[in-house]
Structure 1
Amino acid sequence: MRMRKRRLHSTLLAVFVFLLWGFGDLLVGGKSRTRDDWVGRRSIIYQVVTDRFAAKDPGVTCDPDCAEGGFCGGSYKELRRKLDYIAELGVTALWISPHIQNTKCGYHGFWPRNYNKVSDEFGGKRQLKKLTEEAHQKGLWVMADIVLNHMGPEKNRKHLHPFNKPEHFHPSDCHVEFTKPDTFQSCQLWDLPDLNDDNTEVRKWLIKWVKDEAKEYDFDGFRADAIPYLRDVFLDEIGKQIGSKYYIMGETFVPEVKHVAKYQKRIPGVTNFPLAFALRSAFASRQPMSVVVDAWTATKTLIDDKHAAALFINNHDVPRFMHVRNDQVAYLNALVWLMCAVHIPVLYYGDEQGASGGEPRYHGSRVPMWKHEDPYNTEHVLYRATQLLAKFRRSGMFEGEQIQRFVTPNIYAFSRGSDVLVVTSSSGSGKKYSIQIPPKSLPDAMRPPGTRVCNWLFWGDCSTVNKKGLSVTAMVGKPKVYRVVRKAGKAQRWAAPKHKGGAGKLRPAATTLRSEDDGDGEEEEGEFQQFPSLIPAGCFSRGQSSDGLDGVAAGRAVEYLAAIDPADCQGMCSRRQHCQSFAFLPDVPLGDASHPSNCILLADPEPPHPSGSEGGGRVVVHGPRDCGALTDETPAEGELEGHA
């Protein structure tokens, strides 16, 4: 009998050990999301300032006693109601503001008052749990922002928790001087009490707190604030004890790539601020592309784990791109660079709506989302462009090595792998450019003469490589994402890689893309070569109008919109009962004040007939509400959306 009991106990113990080993992640509050998980998922992060993204009452007045508006009413509950808007954008992760209780006016979350209490202003513990649960249901991971360097401004530190004794802080008579790095780790930022990370007990408590928060709220990763101000020993402990289970994106707000590289030895997910500022300098401030060359050269040389590093165009601490330069085409070029690059892209709330910010009372870049015109518009041209780029990225299109290929003062081209070439320009809206990229500067698969490439961002923008290389012409400054669609002498068979998870799954399908070619190798954006496998022959037609959209409309217009390309314009038409046909002007710049719309929806069932004659006026592409049944080679629904 005793022998049987021992065997039973041994069996139960073995089962328990197996369960602990196999399901250990569940026992500690959910599956760990490591660096490999975030990189393998081809992550795209969407950052919100929780207080400024969605509110129950958009008309609420923010706190007038706070310099930056204080709390404006944003909450987890209202953020939950906008999760579909975020998921449909195509991102895979949601980065929220620090969730703990802050001192007065700490709407942003970076002024901790009580580490053991979730912000009541945001909705408290229960609403935070609901947010992470519903985000996961929609395929979104949640990244929590953690503040480990300091606490909030509080005259009486006894009101802070759990750190409220002198030994918990560095001396307050020493302030960080940004030109003196030796002050970073032992002095306080501005008037923020600097936590004493020389104190072992302080470090231990904070690391345990992060682990407990991950368990309690099922977070998938963390963004660590101000890591250059933490002791190296603390960073090592964070990397080993937290970074071994969760991806950590560290804020490395430093001037040179070499400093970023130093921190990556401890936390792989550093943020490449120097490269981000170089992109902003080139595309927003119109500095020569040499600034990007310098930053990328340093990145390529010094950053060991490029796939784990993060990159952004906008965030909560810098003026928005559109405030610096109000040009949607220039921003679109910067966005393409970001989304096609090897780093993990981070998008900032409102960028997909062309938000410009700039109001000092909201710290410029933190204007409440609901105060923008039509703030959650899923048909905004930048929202749809971001969707398209996200689908390409998640499908594996940008997996290959990133190599700088061709640079002029206002043009930067790089490749991803052997058959993708990204061409961006800082010229901006309405600026035409033409370049010849020599064969030696093309990726391997594009070099043979006769190779056919098409821009996957805009329908019909194709060219054929000749002995001189690839001729690239952009009529209105739009970016290019070229991919080989026909190798020299034969059609290219392209199979979409399997999707690795996340919102808006793609279904893989093999598709042959074909296009007619006149053999001269020089075709301009706007010639609109049709892809028979995607659009039935004759569905779209091309003409010219001497007086633009007004002449085409002839009193039959029902709506004016902004579209990416003709297929995008047709898509909006098909979603509206009142629309029977459309007209699209390809050479109208995005955001052109004199011509804010390039897509017109019409009430007549037949496509309009353009006025004017060949050789004069604007190019007009027109077509019906839909093109009917496509051929057997049509991609699965959702594939190549916006590229038809």
Structure 2
Amino acid sequence: MTFSVSWNMARKALLLLLILSASVFNLWGQFGPEDSVYFLFTDRFYDGDESNNYTVNIRNLKGYHGGDFAGLTEKLPYIAGMGFSAIWISSVVDNQAGGYHGYWAQDYYRVEEHFGDMESLKTMVDRAHELGIKVILDLAINHTGIQHDFFGDPAYQDWFHPRQDIDDYSDQYQVENHWLQNLPDLNHENPEVRQYLIDMSIWWIEQTGIDGYRLDALRHVPADFWREYSAAVKEQFPDFYLIGEVFDGNPANLGKYQNAGIDGLLDFPAYFAIQDMVRNGEPATRFAQSVINSKRNYPHEELMGTFIDNHDVRRFVNQVYRNREEKLAQSLMFLFSYTGIPIMYYGTEIPMDGGSEHSGRSLMAWDEPALYKDLVTSLNELRSLHPALSSGEFTIVDRSMSRFVYARHDADDVFLTILNNGDEERFSIELPDELRRDFRWARSMVLDSAGEPLAPGVPELESIRIRRGRLRMELPAYTGVVLKLSRERE
């Protein structure tokens, strides 16, 4: 893009200013809607230190594959080059055998030896900060691994709930007090357990200078614990970012945790909505209604985490069976222009294959061309250059049966995201009065400086004339576009 050089220079200047003016610990933890996050599994990203390859077997999808902090440190410029301002990595605490994902904690105060040691973890965090990248660690404190040092020890018997599996996920008592996936369920009613988990979480922040936690299995822990937990963390680190996981499509079941002090949550309702429309061909009117319902329930929608896939679901390209390239491009445009903080799963820029839980967590395919990298980079740059795309107002412009159009806008800019989910290619869009502002042209922002598409599935579009507040255009079936409105033809 023509603005890439100027943005890179501005980014470096801003980074230098932050470093020189850093006068408080954890300055980097100030999260907002202008951020974007690259989510990865440390074990599956890059092997930078073969000395810690204990029991590594890349043919075993459920075993360790060799990725480590040294490898991540080496590859941080790759992530920064796409414009991401943060990474979310898998848990760093010591896990029992097979716990490459970080959800089977064995010792909360030790670093997982397959990834490196405390020094290599600190080196990675420091290097990330030098590049302007904040660091979020995954943390699972609903449960431990079956081999945790405390489990089975009579001295800690009351730290765990008795073994009972969850057989009714609509029963909140079971969800909070029974075992999830055969893992020992911590008793958060016990004050000693609460204090231990709070102290441990603060200890990792003090030791490493990280900027946030992604908190696993949020709804399996009582909301009053999260209220106490977030207050304790924020008392010492006011800008520390807490984002939680509630695997639920009902926005009301997510919003209550923001009210309990969690900054943001993974926006599963938005995920299910975009999947229904793009993958299943559901009417765009249903998607629009889902968006409206979500916004009614989130006290801070700007801090929600928007995503199109992650480690808990099949990769996006494995959920789409027709027009795969077009629909992936569509969904990326949605991801980076919708409200909240976009979170992209590692390898989506390629895109990587993954039709099951563990195959969706395979080794990063470094040898394959990253077909969507330029599109992702351009969308990140757009968000950085134009605050309207990250923190501007959100207005639904059109919600027909097969087409969804929304605007992100502020006093300076207006952007339209158009998702065409049907066969009709010729249509018109009428702008609401507050968005007209004497605009006469609309230009695609997903083309390169030569007017070529930035990725497969991105349509070629010439500038579109706006007459009397109406755009008449042609957009190929099952494609999308992000348009910037202007008064002069650019």
TM normalised by structure 1 equals 0.65
Counterparts in 2 of 1:386 and 1:158: CA distance versus 1, 3 Å: closer
Rounded to whole Å, the distance in 2 between the matches of 1:92 and 1:127 is 21
Provide the residue aligned with 1:172 in structure 2: 163
Q: Contact conserved, 1:184 with 1:228, CA < 8 A, in 2? A: yes
Counterparts in 2 of 1:255 and 1:243: CA distance versus 1, 3 Å: farther
Counterparts in 2 of 1:152 and 1:240: CA distance versus 1, 3 Å: same
1:475-624 aligned at under 5 Å gives the runs 475=476, 477-486=478-487, 491=488, 515=489, 531=490
Q: Does 1:192 align with 2:187?
A: no
Rounded to whole Å, the distance in 1 between the matches of 2:298 and 2:437 is 29
Q: Percent identity?
A: 25
Provide the residue aligned with 2:5 in structure 1: none
1:620-635 aligned at under 5 Å gives the runs none
Q: Does 1:387 align with 2:380?
A: no
String of CA shifts for 1:64-88, please: whole Å, max 9, x gaps.
Answer: 896x421111111111111111110
SS in 1 for 2:382: helix
Counterparts in 2 of 1:410 and 1:191: CA distance versus 1, 3 Å: same
Counterparts in 2 of 1:453 and 1:236: CA distance versus 1, 3 Å: same
Rounded to whole Å, the distance in 2 between the matches of 1:80 and 1:163 is 41
Provide the residue aligned with 2:27 in structure 1: 31
Provide the residue aligned with 2:338 in structure 1: 341
- Of the candidates 265, 271, 277, which is equivalent to residue 276 of structure 1? 271
Q: Does 1:309 align with 2:304?
A: yes
Q: Contact conserved, 2:49 with 2:70, CA < 8 A, in 1? A: no
- Of the candidates 310, 329, 337, which is equivalent to residue 326 of structure 2? 329
The aligned amino acid for 1:254 is: D
Rounded to whole Å, the distance in 2 between the matches of 1:282 and 1:320 is 16
Rounded to whole Å, the distance in 2 between the matches of 1:23 and 1:233 is 34
SS in 2 for 1:69: coil
Q: Does 1:289 align with 2:284?
A: yes
Provide the residue aligned with 1:148 in structure 2: 141
Q: Contact conserved, 1:71 with 1:107, CA < 8 A, in 2? A: yes
SS in 2 for 1:424: strand
Provide the residue aligned with 1:536 in structure 2: none
Report the CA distance between 1:287 and its aligned residue. Answer: 2.4
SS in 1 for 2:417: strand
Q: Does 1:53 align with 2:53?
A: no
Rounded to whole Å, the distance in 1 between the matches of 2:482 and 2:154 is 52
Q: Contact conserved, 1:211 with 1:242, CA < 8 A, in 2? A: yes
SS in 2 for 1:301: helix
Structure 1 window deviating more from structure 2 (199-208 vs 417-426): it is: 417-426
Q: Does 1:118 align with 2:108?
A: no
Rounded to whole Å, the distance in 1 between the matches of 2:48 and 2:300 is 42
Q: Contact conserved, 1:63 with 1:70, CA < 8 A, in 2? A: yes
Provide the residue aligned with 2:392 in structure 1: 400
Provide the residue aligned with 2:14 in structure 1: none
Counterparts in 2 of 1:171 and 1:122: CA distance versus 1, 3 Å: same
Rounded to whole Å, the distance in 1 between the matches of 2:416 and 2:182 is 48
Counterparts in 2 of 1:64 and 1:349: CA distance versus 1, 3 Å: closer
SS in 2 for 1:202: helix
Rounded to whole Å, the distance in 2 between the matches of 1:121 and 1:455 is 45
Rounded to whole Å, the distance in 1 between the matches of 2:374 and 2:59 is 39
- Of the candidates 233, 246, 249, which is equivalent to residue 252 of structure 1? 246
Q: Does 1:207 align with 2:218?
A: no
Provide the residue aligned with 1:409 in structure 2: 401
SS in 2 for 1:394: helix
Report the CA distance between 1:250 and its aligned residue. Answer: 0.8
Provide the residue aligned with 1:133 in structure 2: 126
Report the CA distance between 1:63 and its aligned residue. Answer: 4.1
Rounded to whole Å, the distance in 1 between the matches of 2:380 and 2:28 is 24
String of CA shifts for 1:481-539, please: whole Å, max 9, x gaps.
Answer: 222221xxxx4xxxxxxxxxxxxxxxxxxxxxxx3xxxxxxxxxxxxxxx4xxxxxxxx
Provide the residue aligned with 2:6 in structure 1: none
The aligned amino acid for 1:453 is: A
Counterparts in 2 of 1:270 and 1:162: CA distance versus 1, 3 Å: farther
Provide the residue aligned with 1:474 in structure 2: 475
Report the CA distance between 1:177 and its aligned residue. Answer: 2.7
Rounded to whole Å, the distance in 1 between the matches of 2:270 and 2:464 is 31
Rounded to whole Å, the distance in 2 between the matches of 1:153 and 1:365 is 25
Higher RCO (CA 8 Å, separation ≥ 6 residues): 2
Rounded to whole Å, the distance in 2 between the matches of 1:416 and 1:150 is 40
Q: Contact conserved, 1:143 with 1:220, CA < 8 A, in 2? A: yes
Counterparts in 2 of 1:204 and 1:302: CA distance versus 1, 3 Å: same
Rounded to whole Å, the distance in 2 between the matches of 1:164 and 1:385 is 55
Report the CA distance between 1:23 and its aligned residue. Answer: 8.7
Q: Does 1:224 align with 2:215?
A: yes
Q: Contact conserved, 1:25 with 1:32, CA < 8 A, in 2? A: no
Report the CA distance between 1:281 and its aligned residue. Answer: 1.9
Report the CA distance between 1:477 and its aligned residue. Answer: 4.5
Rounded to whole Å, the distance in 2 between the matches of 1:161 and 1:279 is 44
CA RMSD of aligned residues (A): 2.6
Rounded to whole Å, the distance in 2 between the matches of 1:24 and 1:463 is 48
The aligned amino acid for 1:471 is: R
Structure having the higher Rg: 1
Provide the residue aligned with 1:561 in structure 2: none
- Of the candidates 238, 261, 266, which is equivalent to residue 229 of structure 2? 238
String of CA shifts for 1:269-310, please: whole Å, max 9, x gaps.
Answer: 122111111112211233222332222011122212111111
Report the CA distance between 1:48 and its aligned residue. Answer: 0.2
Gaps of 5+ in 1: 1-21, 492-514, 516-530, 532-644
Counterparts in 2 of 1:426 and 1:127: CA distance versus 1, 3 Å: farther
Rounded to whole Å, the distance in 1 between the matches of 2:153 and 2:374 is 46
The aligned amino acid for 2:480 is: P
- Of the candidates 345, 353, 357, which is equivalent to residue 356 of structure 1? 353
Counterparts in 2 of 1:454 and 1:32: CA distance versus 1, 3 Å: closer
Aligned residues: 444
SS in 2 for 1:185: helix
Q: Contact conserved, 2:421 with 2:477, CA < 8 A, in 1? A: no
Q: Contact conserved, 2:308 with 2:344, CA < 8 A, in 1? A: yes
SS in 2 for 1:261: helix
1:92-107 aligned at under 5 Å gives the runs 92-107=85-100
The aligned amino acid for 2:372 is: L
String of CA shifts for 1:536-584, please: whole Å, max 9, x gaps.
Answer: xxxxxxxxxxxxxxxxxxxxxxxxxxxxxxxxxxxxxxxxxxxxxxxxx
The aligned amino acid for 1:406 is: D
Counterparts in 2 of 1:242 and 1:454: CA distance versus 1, 3 Å: same
Counterparts in 2 of 1:407 and 1:38: CA distance versus 1, 3 Å: same
